[in-house]
Amino acid sequence: MTTFDYAPALESRSIVTIDSSYGHFINGVFVEGKNHFASINPSNEEVLSQISLAGSDDINRAVSAARVAYEATWSKMPGKERGKYLYRIARIMQERAREFAVLETLDNGKPIRESRDVDVPLAAAHFFYHAGWADKLDYVGVGHSPRPHGVAGQIIPWNFPLLMLAWKVAPALAAGNTVVLKPAESTSLTALLFAQVCQQAELPAGVVNIVTGDGSSGALLVNHPGVDKIAFTGSTEVGKAIARAIAPTKKKATLELGGKAANIVFDDAPIDETVEGIVNGIFFNQGHVCCAGSRLLLQENIAEQTIEALKVRMAKIRVGNPLDKNTDLGAINSSEQLGKIQSLSATGDQEGAQRWSPECVLPEKGYWFPPTIFTGVTQAHRIAREEIFGPVLSVLTFRTPAEAIEKANNTPYGLSAGIWSEKGSRILWAAQQLRAGVIWANTFNKFEPASPFGGYKESGWGREGGRHGLAAYLTSDENGDN
């Protein structure tokens, strides 16, 4: 078999300017923070910048700025005018796409190919999509002349930093809410670049405020009495804490939480395409994907040949420098996340599953984990039940379609699922039985702003994207809210 060596094809980082430290973005300007923490490049542990840690004074100022902007400007502005700002932001994001992509890759560790071709274009697409809704809110489906909630407190994770910001900020602004957003501790830099885009777009001061910090800053935002709606993406554990914290209040909330998706392969599936889909399902973004296809369910009579084909394909995954345009699998986002992946994988060994990874040389510095599969996994194993959130696939088998569905639904989560089969009738049958918010057939990990995304059970409350996602930022007398 011929193999190809790839010469390095490094994307230049010269397009990006990173300040040595950043303050918070409040009321249209950057203000110094008191305490700082480092944001690092997880592929080589280089300190990129010092980020401010928001305390209660910072959160108070940001929420007040958002309130004033809401009452004085943004909620009063005709939707058509708000839409113009969203279009302007979307166009600037496109113009500065390479800058965003390089910065995201430096701060997060994801391959430049993904930040360039997925994260950044999709983030811009969310702004374009919602810009179109801003003057058509009567047609969202929440009643006539719907109203925004007020100030939205938004908290996002580190796996798709800019994209999660876009999922949160674009619908909030289109609906007429103002925003205080807290990015994840390890990935604040593209949110801070987005703040500069807001300035460039001359967005009225206070409409978007970005406060950086850790979980304590997030909790201050959740508990602030001046916040009307919480939008959170992150772990189920923190999601539950937020639900408890807001239970005695009138705050609205959407929670996008974890997942442990089944990717089901029936024996009539085309094997090569399926193997590509399995790889995309679990190794895209290092497996740091809430809807990752992390439980592969193979029909027993094709299990062996599928696993063999998967191993051949996995041996071709290129792991390494995220700025290299040939790289498929980048760095794990933090040492903390690497530790979680290592310890959960160790339980797979202890509980008797068989681990396999292709030979690959991992860089010496930074946080790395090779693409890994576990075979011989049963439903009782922790690696079949708990979210690993890394490049680790648990492989189970089934004999009948009914058994596949039963195993797929045997999880506290219900975010996504995949079905591989040549037969349309079988796909539709399976899709109807699966308790998951998003179901892909003969593909995986496809996202689109018009398509609502969200989960069942412990995967969260509500939907983001599409008309459903926008409705969560609106209320009307007709639907009996407020």
Residues at the interface with ligand NAP (CB under 6 A): 155-159, 182, 184-185, 214-215, 218-219, 222, 233-235, 238, 241, 256-259, 290, 387, 389, 415, 460
**269-278 burial: b if 16+ Cβ within 10 Å, else e:** bebeebbebb
Write a three-state SS string for 220-245: HHHHCCCCCEEEEECCHHHHHHHHHH
Q: Which of 394, 347, 326, 340 is nearest to 369 (CA)?
A: 340
Residues of this chain that interact with Mg ion (CB under 5 A) are 39, 107, 186
Instruction: Report the residue number, 186 or 357, with the smaller CB distance to Mg ion.
Output: 186
User: How crowded is residue 402: how many other Cβ atoms within 10 Å of its Cβ?
Assistant: 10
Please state the φ and ψ torsions of residue 41, each to the nearest 5 degrees: -90, 115
**For residues 261 and 264, what is the distance between their CA atoms, to the nearest angstrom?**
9
In the sheet that holds 178-182, the strands lie side by side as 29-31, 24-26, 208-210, 178-182, 151-155, 229-233, 252-256, 460-461
- 360 an active-site residue? no
**Which value, to the nearest 10 degrees, does the dihedral of the CA atoms of residues 130, 30, 186, 260 take?**
-20
Instruction: Report the residue number, 158 or 374, with the smaller CB distance to ligand NAP.
Output: 158
238 contact, one of ligand NAP, Mg ion, none, CB 5-8 Å limit per kind: ligand NAP
107 contact, one of Mg ion, ligand NAP, none, CB 5-8 Å limit per kind: Mg ion
**Closest CB 359 distance from ligand NAP, rounded Å:** 29
Q: Which of 463, 421, 399 is nearest to 171 (CA)?
A: 463
The one catalytic residue in 198, 290, 386, 458 is: 290
Instruction: Report the residue number, 159 or 274, with the smaller CB distance to ligand NAP.
Output: 159
Instruction: Report the residue number, 266 or 473, with the smaller CB distance to ligand NAP.
Output: 473
**Closest CB 158 distance from ligand NAP, rounded Å:** 5
At 286, list the tokens: 């290092």
**For residues 191 and 196, what is the distance between their CA atoms, to the nearest angstrom?**
9
Coil, strand, or helix at residue 208? strand
**Closest CB 286 distance from Mg ion, rounded Å:** 14
Token pair 């009567």 is found at 138
The one catalytic residue in 185, 256, 458, 464 is: 256
**Closest CB 431 distance from ligand NAP, rounded Å:** 20
- 290 an active-site residue? yes
At 475, list the tokens: 């209320």
Instruction: Report the residue number, 42 or 143, with the smaller CB distance to ligand NAP.
Output: 42
159 contact, one of Mg ion, ligand NAP, none, CB 5-8 Å limit per kind: ligand NAP
64 contact, one of ligand NAP, Mg ion, none, CB 5-8 Å limit per kind: none
**Closest CB 234 distance from ligand NAP, rounded Å:** 3
**Closest CB 134 distance from ligand NAP, rounded Å:** 23
Quick one: which H or E segment has residue 217? helix 215-223
Instruction: Report the residue number, 11 or 387, with the smaller CB distance to ligand NAP.
Output: 387
Catalytic residues: 256, 290
